[in-house]
Amino acid sequence: MELPFAESYKIKMVEAIRKSTREEREKWIREAGYNVFNLTSAQVYIDLLTDSGTGAMSDRQWSAMMVGDESYAGASSYYKLKDVVRDITGFEWFLPTHQGRAAENVLFSTLVREGDIVPGNSHFDTTKGHIEFRKATAADCTVDAAEDTTLDHPFKGNIDLLKLEDVLSSYPAERIPFVIVTVTCNSSGGQPVSMDNLRAVREMANRYGVPVIFDAARFAENAWFIKEREKLYSDKSIKEIVREMFSYADAMTMSSKKDGIVNMGGFIAFRKEEWFREASVYNILFEGFITYGGMSGRDMNALAQGLVEGTDYEYLRTRIRQIEYLDGLLRQYNIPVQTPVGGHAVFVDAGRFLPHLPREEFVGQALVVELYLEAGVRATEIGTLLADRDPETRENRYPAVEFVRLAVPRRVYTNNHMDVVAAALKNIYDRRDEIRRGYRIVKEAPIMRHFTVELEKI
């Protein structure tokens, strides 16, 4: 018989986690203002809040930390990381930052001005935040297919070229600092962007004289899907695919907390020295000297090793197989999820799960709270709460889909944990008609409200 698939690693260190009672969770979530960001980690049994910075480092990463060089300037850890980044991405110029949004802050300080338009596939929340904070506008050009969770489309992260051309042709090039492509596209469900689309975006941007930047937090998972779903690439190595992807960009921002498999870190990489020089000023101002940028030497060492492991074929296979496993269980239970499954998470379509709840009552959040109450599983809402208010009208922005994201940390949970998550959702689905009302906001911040919002039950 054919041998079954198994993980490409074994476990050397464990952390105990504890189940709680429903009574405990009812008290805790009330005290947290029905916002799971306000829960303590000890109040959570299985934590699928995010895959960001929550991965397990390898023995090689931990050992690399022991030989970190903590020199202020010119540390060997910096050069080691710079070499790995060049080898993987092909970019010559590089600046470390303490995380992904810091990379955005530095690069956008260099490139984005008031009144600018920044087209892209669904901008990540901090990316959008950094654009809107500078009084510029993010123009979402994602393909419409991403909005229909029942539709099977291999690359729902793709940019709709007609929408992009519409933006590029409506404004002078000086008003468009760059096109930003998020790989994979987090907001639509960890959905990949095809190589064909990356190439076409590059060609179109060239015609309009506009640069292209990748928000590359999950570039390796994106490469995996190109290999799996794009015919011409099935025989190419992950490394070759990654190199070709980045060949279509002028620069990248990276949250290393995702495919870099470290708990903290980020960077910017550039093709042009000029941008690197300009951004260096802001890096020194906001992050630190250009050879550490908010990272310690040991953390740069761990990241250099993490990037090598994060682009390894067997690792990626293990990673995506686990997401597919969870997705498969949920489909078996008829739970509505984004089709096909993406890279770092399963996205439940809360609007189809609880169709009787009005959107003003935060349908996704209602399901997040139910899931926590049912099994101590912490997920996150990617819906109206996250979409926030329109900066002009201050009205709620209603996104196309009310998602609940089950983000799976890298190398942390087993498929037994995934069984618990799926069973909990099934129990809720079976009694979904009993969930009659949602939530209203008691307190919220003026920008990125979902992190700190406080809610009450209606």
Ligand X SMILES: *Cc1c(COP(=O)(O)O)cnc(C)c1O
Q: Give the residues lining the site for ligand X (CB under 6 A).
A: 52, 99-101, 124, 126-127, 182, 186, 215, 217, 255, 257-258, 266
The CB-nearest residue to ligand X is 100
Nearest CA to 225 out of 197, 192, 265 is that of: 192
Helices marked H in 213-272: 219-229, 238-247
CB of 55 to ligand X, least distance (A): 12
Round to whole Å and give the CA distance between 96 and 108.
15
Q: Decide if 75 contacts 304 (C-beta within 8 A).
A: no
Residue the block writes with tokens 């990037």: 307
CB of residue 54 to ligand X, shortest distance in Å: 11
CA angle 199/201/205 to nearest 5° reads 120
The maximal CA–CA distance of the chain, rounded, in angstroms, is 63
Q: Which is nearer to ligand X, 221 or 374 (CB)?
A: 221
For 307, residues 6+ apart whose C-beta sits below 8 A from its C-beta are: 84, 85, 88, 256, 259, 260
User: Measuring CA to CA, which residue among 194, 185, 180 is closest to residue 230?
Assistant: 194
What's the closest the beta carbon of residue 127 comes to ligand X, in angstroms? 5
* CB nearer ligand X, residue 127 or residue 322: 127
Is 125 part of the annotated catalytic residue set?
yes
Write down the catalytic residue from 125, 259, 327, 349: 125
Q: For this structure, is 69 an active site residue?
A: no
Q: Is 124 a catalytic residue?
A: yes
Shortest distance, CB of residue 61 to ligand X, whole angstroms? 17
Residue 353 bears catalytic tag: no
- By beta-carbon proximity to ligand X, the closer residue of 68 and 157 is 157
Is 227 labeled as catalytic in the residue annotation? no
C-alpha to C-alpha distance for 450 and 458, rounded to whole angstroms: 18
Minimum distance, C-beta of residue 380 to ligand X, in the bound complex (Å):
12
Q: Give the nearest distance from C-beta 426 to ligand X in angstroms.
A: 28
Query: Cβ distance 401 to 149 under 8 Å?
Result: yes
Q: Which of 124, 270, 372, 429 is catalytic?
A: 124
Instruction: Report d(CA 10, CA 309) in Å as an integer.
Output: 14
DSSP alpha helix (H) spans, 56-153: 59-66, 76-89, 100-111, 125-133
Query: In the structure encoding, which two tokens stand for residue 297, read together?
Result: 């030497």
Identity of the residue, 127 or 191, whose beta carbon is nearer to ligand X in the bound complex = 127
Residues ≥6 apart with Cβ < 8 Å to 58: 9, 261, 305, 306, 309, 411
State both tokens at 170: 């409506």
Q: How far is the CB of 103 from ligand X (least distance, A)?
A: 8
Residue 385, helix vs strand vs coil: helix
| Contact present, 198 and 181 (Cβ < 8 Å) | yes
Task: Tell me how far, at minimum, the Cβ of 110 lies from ligand X, in Å.
Answer: 17
Query: Cα separation of 251 and 348, whole Å?
Result: 32
Pairwise CA distance, residues 231 & 398, whole Å: 36
Asked about 450 being catalytic, the answer comes back as yes
Per the residue annotation, which of 217, 249, 345, 375 is the catalytic one?
217
Residue 244: exposed, middle, or buried by beta-carbon count in 10 A (0-12, 13-18, 19+)? middle
Active-site residue numbers?
Answer: 72, 124-125, 215, 217, 258, 450
